Amino acid sequence: MSKRVLIIGAGGVGNVVVKKCAMLPEIFGTIMLASRTLSKCDKIADEIGGNRVQTAQVDADNVPELVALIKGFKPDLVVNVALPYQDLPIMDACLETGVHYLDTANYEPKDVAKFEYSWQWAYQERFREKGIMALLGCGFDPGVTGVFTAYANKHHFDEMHYLDIVDCNAGDHGKAFATNFNPEINIREITQKGKYYENGQWIEVDALSIHKPIEYPHVGPRESYLLYHEELESLVKNFPSLRRARFWMTFGQQYITHLNVLQNVGMTRIDPVMYKGIAVIPLEFLKAVLPEPSTLGENYTGQTSIGCQIKGVKNGTDRTYFVYNNCHHAECFREVGAQGVAYTTGVPAMIGAALMLTNPEWMHPGVYNVEELNPDPFMDMLNKHGLPWHEQFDIELPHDYK
Ligand SMILES: NC(=O)c1ccc[n+]([C@@H]2O[C@H](COP(=O)([O-])OP(=O)(O)OC[C@H]3O[C@@H](n4cnc5c(N)ncnc54)[C@H](OP(=O)(O)O)[C@@H]3O)[C@@H](O)[C@H]2O)c1
């Protein structure tokens, strides 16, 4: 029986989730897109056409407003692709109305650039008691990177020891400086201290201070920077055999230069600054003058390449394993009018939603990260819905594995 889904957030990722859900009427029979700006919802719904998607205006920071919207539309599942600040109010509204929940980024308080799962994991008992499920971090990274790791663990290792998540955007959008997803969230993530996990401890390093060239399939070597990324927290918890887990992301020199200047002049600050009697948060103002990520797709060339490089043991022998996806920006634009970063996030969100609604293995009351569920049906759907993956075994991994 087809289901009702409410998608919140009509940005770059929301556009992809709605369009991919609309392609599967046998699963997502009735779709509503709600966001802060109604015209953005209407534009996406018009592009899909055929009255396939209903739209609504909502302030997702406001729990009573969300509850009223959910009670009116009666969805089976809420997909949250607004901003991480809205995770807790939307989870509260789902609890109040007894509706399942999915998101792609973990909660962050607005006034501290700090993201961790503790706030959302604290909902575990309440979701379980209510008989509803929350699936956290179901984009690409986090999301597919967790599914890749779970798949490696299930099929290719007796014990995993070293994990490196390698994320390359080898695309060119032609702008001097722009971020591929929400600028505020993106810049907060990159300018905070780097952190990785080794031998049971978290090791903190200065932002962007560790970097080296990494070889990406069909791209070549790209300078990659060690960042803290949220899936590291859940992956080392769920796969305790991991001795080290790190996350690497590529940035071009032009991007780093712009970021340094913006940081040096104070434009990435998240504390209020008084300007002509008005309290202005510099990073929020910066977001207002940067290109919206959803508008970058049109002339975007090149591809993304994201994967997991793992070393461990199988049948008593050391082994290495690399699983990755490459995704072309131009193909994403042709299919759904989006750039690759929005596409690689939105497709897994649709897949997670589809599995929760149709596959009993993917529906358990409580709060889960994607790697806690059976990776096989997810991997199968990635191949069918636009994000095919590839594997390499026993290759020389380019990292300094000990
Ligand atoms: N896991 C991954 O791989 C991954 C990768 C990229 C992004 N993400 C996450 O995906 C989410 C969406 O990113 P994006 O690039 O699509 O961002 P975006 O383009 O800025 O879109 C966010 C949308 O949410 C809406 N919104 C913001 N605050 C709201 C509120 N209080 N009430 C209702 N709607 C609100 C915005 O409305 P307005 O248009 O009116 O501002 C906007 O349409 C973010 O949480 C991001 O961290 C995850």
pLDDT tens for each residue of 17-61: 999 999 999 999 999 999 999 999 999 999 999 999 999 999 999
Ligand 1: distance of its center to the CA of 354 in Å?
A: 20
H or E stretch at 101: strand 100-103
- 181 Cα nearest atom in ligand 1: 15
- 144 Cα nearest atom in ligand 1: 3
Decide: 182 in ligand 1 pocket, CB within 6 A.
yes
The β-bridge partners of 143 are 139
> What pLDDT, on a 0 to 100 scale, did the predictor assign at position 363?
98
CA-to-CA distance for 178 and 182, rounded, in angstroms? 10
Decide: 357 in ligand 1 pocket, CB within 6 A.
no
The pLDDT of residue 1 is above 80: no
pTM comes to 0.96
Q: Nearest CA to 136 among 93, 102, 185? A: 102
C-beta neighbour count of 367 within 10 angstroms: 23
The pLDDT of residue 214 is above 90: yes
Q: Which CATH architecture has domain 3-136?
A: 3-Layer(aba) Sandwich (3.40)
CA-to-CA distance for 344 and 320, rounded, in angstroms? 25
CA-to-CA distance for 31 and 317, rounded, in angstroms? 49
* Domain regions of the chain by residue span: 3-136, 144-337+386-393
CA angle 185, 88, 142 (to 5 degrees): 50
Percent of the chain with pLDDT over 90: 89
For residue range 238-247, what is the model confidence (pLDDT) as tens digits? 999 999 999 9
The pLDDT of residue 402 is above 60: no
**Is residue 150 within 8 Å of 371, Cβ to Cβ?**
yes
**Is residue 6 within 8 Å of 34, Cβ to Cβ?**
yes
Q: Name the residue of 36, 92, 101, 308 to mutate for ligand 1: max ligand atoms within 8 A of Cβ.
A: 36
DSSP symbol at 123: T
DSSP alpha helix (H) spans, 304-374: 329-336, 340-358
> What pLDDT, on a 0 to 100 scale, did the predictor assign at position 181?
86
Cα 89 vs. chain centroid, distance in angstroms? Answer: 19
H or E stretch at 382: helix 375-384
Tokens 């990435």, residue located: 268
CA-to-CA distance for 297 and 311, rounded, in angstroms? 36
For residue range 310-332, what is the model confidence (pLDDT) as tens digits? 999 999 999 999 999 999 999 99
| Coil, helix or strand at residue 90 | helix
Decide: 115 in ligand 1 pocket, CB within 6 A.
no
More confident residue, 353 or 188: 353
Alpha-carbon separation of residue 65 from 58, 62, 72, 93, 368 (angstroms): 7, 5, 11, 9, 26
> What pLDDT, on a 0 to 100 scale, did the predictor assign at position 227?
95
The pLDDT of residue 401 is above 60: no
The protein residue with its alpha carbon nearest to ligand 1, atom 7, reads 181
CA-to-CA distance for 116 and 88, rounded, in angstroms? 13
Ligand 1: distance of its center to the CA of 106 in Å?
A: 12
CA-to-CA distance for 65 and 79, rounded, in angstroms? 16
| Coil, helix or strand at residue 399 | coil
- Which CATH fold would you assign to the domain 144-337+386-393? Dihydrodipicolinate Reductase; domain 2 (3.30.360)
Ligand 1: distance of its center to the CA of 349 in Å?
A: 13
Decide: 105 in ligand 1 pocket, CB within 6 A.
yes
> What pLDDT, on a 0 to 100 scale, did the predictor assign at position 332?
97
For residue range 216-257, what is the model confidence (pLDDT) as tens digits? 999 999 999 999 999 999 999 999 999 999 999 999 899 999
Report phi then psi at 242, rounded to 5: -65, 125
Give the residue-averaged pLDDT of 69-96.
98
> What pLDDT, on a 0 to 100 scale, did the predictor assign at position 188?
86
Decide: 223 in ligand 1 pocket, CB within 6 A.
no
State the amino acid at position 362 in one-letter form: W
H or E stretch at 191: helix 183-191
CA-to-CA distance for 166 and 305, rounded, in angstroms? 8
Decide: 326 in ligand 1 pocket, CB within 6 A.
no
